Structure 1
């Protein structure tokens, strides 16, 4: 399979619809973010291990969550659980050089892996730092968009509070099978939630 084969599969399955997200998948090659031993499976529609008990997510799930997130050109985005950096790179391509994407990763080894992978694309607008995803990144808040690539048992209030008014959080929540929850901040204290069940994620680590 090729990267275009993967994109065609995601289009056929109705996981990809938005042009700027499709173009990001065309520009940012998943093969640049998998482990060397998994290069032959980079374009398969399933998660792959990246070490330390973590995975690079299934492409269909990444596409689904990005479509729900609807990041826009110029947005400031927090990418929690950045792992090998693929989603951080996709987001960096989407928001463009007027935007900003901060990948947040708790494991030192994956922070370094993600940074090395991100260097392949020379994005001035994307970076990865070490931090606890449960706490978010208050010193960089507020964010237009926050996306989380690992499942929390409950919705971290810290992430909701770091959204701009009009901002959006997409996060998997639950035990066992997970719901992807889309949370829009309508005002300071008013949030709207939509639930999409039937997903499986690694847990969001909270040290």
Structure 2
């Protein structure tokens, strides 16, 4: 694939990229802006790429799959845990145009990488923070939470940061897990198997 439009079309043909909001976002955000210069020739390939510090920019198929599971809306308040290169953060912010995205990253050099990459766009609805000792941002609530590294189990502290009616997508071991908090506060969970992620560190 030669550009991000071809990548978007490929993901649509694969049946993983479906919603009009996300199609528009994949057409607006160019993955090569978040890939290291040495790997630019692979920017549109459907596999993960190293970004330093033992971390990766995820496979496009996987990113599209996760974002579709979130059921994103234009006014969502979103937490992006492990923003890495900033690609997922940019896609979230482009989709939630009238909402807000808070990205947290544990590795300082990757936080600076994400900031540098996101400066290529004119987003006014993104805030990036260095992750603290606690997971997520205690005391704040979000409509959607995206976690881009694999936990050993669903963290209860993140469920506590999810608004009623909210959705969290998080890899747990080799499964993609969707956690939905109903309006009454009860939790529903769905699992999709067959994924591999770097481990969640906190």
> Residue 119 of structure 2 aligns to a residue in which SS?
helix
User: In structure 2, how many angstroms separate the alpha carbons of the residues matched to 1:185 and 1:42?
Assistant: 35
Contact 1:80–1:133 (Cα < 8 Å) also in 2: no
**Match for residue 36 of structure 1?**
37
**Residue in 2 aligned with 1:110?**
110
Cα drift, residue 126 of structure 1: 1.0
SS in 2 for 1:127: strand
Residue in structure 1 matched with residue 159 of structure 2 by the alignment: 160
Query: Given the alignment of the two structures, is residue 66 of structure 1 paired with residue 67 of structure 2, yes or no?
Result: yes
Q: What corresponds to 1:173 in structure 2?
A: 172
Q: Secondary structure at the match of 1:172?
A: strand
Instruction: Indicate the residue corresponding to 1:48 in structure 2.
Output: 49
Residue 23 of structure 1 aligns to a residue in which SS? helix
Corresponding position of 1:124:
124
2:81 is matched with: 80
Distance 1:102 1:19 in 2: 23
Contact 1:134 1:156 in 2 (8 A): no
Structure 1: 5+ residue runs without aligned partners? none
Q: CA RMSD in A?
A: 1.2
Matches within 5 A, 1:12-23: 12-23=13-24
Contact 1:132 1:205 in 2 (8 A): no
Once residues 115 and 43 of structure 1 are traced to their aligned partners in structure 2, the CA distance between those partners, rounded to angstroms, is 21
Cα distance in 2 for partners of 1:109, 1:28 equals 22
Is the CA contact (8 Å cut-off) linking 2:164 and 2:185 kept in structure 1?
A: no
If the length of structure 1 is used for normalisation, what is the TM-score? Answer: 0.94
Whether contact under 8 Å (1:106, 1:133) holds in the other structure is no
